[in-house]
Amino acid sequence: MVFKLELDKKRTGIESKFYEISKSTTEENGFVLYDMEYISGSSTLRVFIMNKETKTADIDECVKVTRAMNPFFEEEEGNWIPEDIVLEVSSPGMYRSLKTKEHFDLALSQRVQIFITGKLEDDLTSEATKAIQKANSFIGILNEVNEQNIILEIDGLSLPITFEQMKKANLEPKV
C-alpha cells in the first residue's frame, strides 16, 4: 500500500458528519482537530485534538472536548448516530502519524521516521551511504515540506523523499 497524503481525502456519509461535528466542536473550544477516524465495525469515533501552543493535549483538554460533544451525541443518538457509539478524544501522541501536509508542516525541524516502498532513486542517493541506499525506513530531521516531497536530514545529508514513495510517517522523538 502506497502512502497517500490525505489533503484530498473525501469523507462521505456518517464519517463526513462526524468530521464536521468534531472539527467545529474542537475549534469552538480553542483546539485544533489533528485527526479523526470512525471505525464503523466497532462504532468508535476517535478524535485527536491538539492545543495550538503546546502541540499536544492533556487529559483536562480532552475531557473538555468530550463534554462539549456529549450533548450533541445524546440528542442525535438513534437518529443517524449509532446507539452503541464510543467516543474517544485524545492527544495525537508522541509518535503521532503524519498523514497530511499540515501534519508535516507541524513537524518541521523535528525528528521523524519515514517508511518507503522500494528503494530510493540511484541519482538521489549518489552521496548516500550504501546503508541509506538500501534502506526502506529512515529517521532524520524534517527540514522541508513541499507539495511533492519532503527533505529529510540524515547525518548531514539532505535526502528528498517523495510522498508517492511513503508507506508511513510519524514523529520519532528521542526519549
Q: Indicate which CATH number applies to the domain containing 75.
A: 3.30.300.70
Which residues are 157's β-sheet partners?
154
Report residue 155's pLDDT band, with 50, 70 and 90 as the boundaries. Answer: confident
> pLDDT by residue (tens digit) across 103-139?
999 999 999 999 998 877 655 556 677 777 778 899 9
> pLDDT by residue (tens digit) across 135-151?
889 999 999 999 889 99
The pTM of this model reads 0.84
Q: Find the Cα–Cα–Cα–Cα dihedral 112, 49, 4, 166, rounded to 10°.
A: 10
Contacts of 20 (CB under 8 A, 6+ apart): none
Residue 86 lies in a domain: yes
Residues 106, 150: one domain? yes
Residue 5, pLDDT > 70, answer no
Residue 85, pLDDT > 70, answer yes
The domain boundary residue, chosen from 58, 90, 122: 90
Report residue 78's pLDDT band, with 50, 70 and 90 as the boundaries. Answer: confident
Cβ count near 52 (within 10 Å): 8
Residue 8 lies in a domain: no
pLDDT of residue 8: 55
Q: For residue 38, what are the domain limits?
A: 13-90
Residue 154 lies in a domain: yes
Residue 73 lies in a domain: yes
d(CA 156, CA 147): 23
